[in-house]
Chain A
Amino acid sequence: MKHLVQTFVKGITRENPLMILMIGLCATLAVSTQFQGAVFMGLAVIFVLTMSNAIISIFRRFIPNEVRIPMFIVVIASFVTIVDLVMKAFVPSVYAFLGIWIPLIVVNCIILGRAEAFAYHNGLPAAIADGLGMGVGYTIVIVVFAFVRELFGSGAVKFFGATLLALPSWYAPPSVVLLFPGAFILFGFFLAGWRALVSRPGGGGGCS
């Protein structure tokens, strides 16, 4: 049990996919202009990551080493298709905002990376704990980052039309925070802050 908790926590702190391993960055920078979209992106990643980790862990003894990558991709793509269709049906506004980023979860390095590095070599409970931990670690970062960007970029954070937090009306939001350069620059400072306060990288990581 203690071991599972450790596996879960390391996904949030010591091996946080975004801040330490630096994988899966594309979607993070792109969808963090909107708090609501980021929340759903995080949920989608948690779902796909946990389910694909679980399935790959269950079938790991039957997956031949030579064709493992295509098989991982098929498993991941099936779960992404589920997310794609469910979001299109139930939250069309979020689906329209996320757009190409839903199909692109398939090639999100976090998911394939965890399948390859963890789920393929570990039992079901550990694989689920790892998937949840990595997913939650991803979600925390993307949601906080999107909250900051939407608050300072548009002056108020909204969730399905309800205003969660608004800055006083004298604040004139600089649009650069919501534009592409702003995302890169803010993320750079975010990274520096996280590494100073929460955890530092111990080397390794990285993909494609």
Chain B
Amino acid sequence: MISVKSIHPIESEFAERIPAPTIAGISVWIMERQAITATSESSVLKQIAAGNRDAVTVCIDRFGGLVWSLARKFCRNATDAEDAVQEIFTEIWRIAGRYDPQVGSEATFISTVARRRLIDKQRKAGRTPAHEAFTPATDTQATTDIQPVEVREEVERAQNAMSSLTEEQQAALRLSIHEGHSHSEIARRMDVPLGTVKTNIRRGLLRLREMLSDDGAEQWGGK
């Protein structure tokens, strides 16, 4: 997977190679750049979008555990979770071409697609998440070992980002995003005003958004 940091704004490479980038020089740059990127692993989602069927298997092996784990969290039973995973991957195949590495990693993209799909299903079914029924892993190391490196790296990055938030923001986001509680429920559980919960969630997410952009070629810059 191309990491976000491996995507260079074209200008920066021009700056190194061709001080005054011009159209006349762009093809040379492109050919050099293609030679560089050919040695690195390209986006599996882009390969899927280009019709590479081998990439489908790679994508499933790389992100199947992530999607399955999220589905297990949101669904009441294994059958529902299996159905959800199949729906999510069908959607991923269809929209793979819209993945933009400049705004986040593939793991984040897939996590977002999966989360949105699972929330939609959940709202449709009018139920709360099955998080309580889920047995957390007790052996974190063992869990880490079975994660593909692309997921593990992104998980670590997300954990680092989360740890930079205030404790109140972390707690609110955990209850909201991870455990799926409503803002009102969180206010009751944390014994704080609803507005405080909303503020913590909003500030936490906006901070995460900034951190995504810091690593994501400044796509949200200036906003």
A and B bind: no
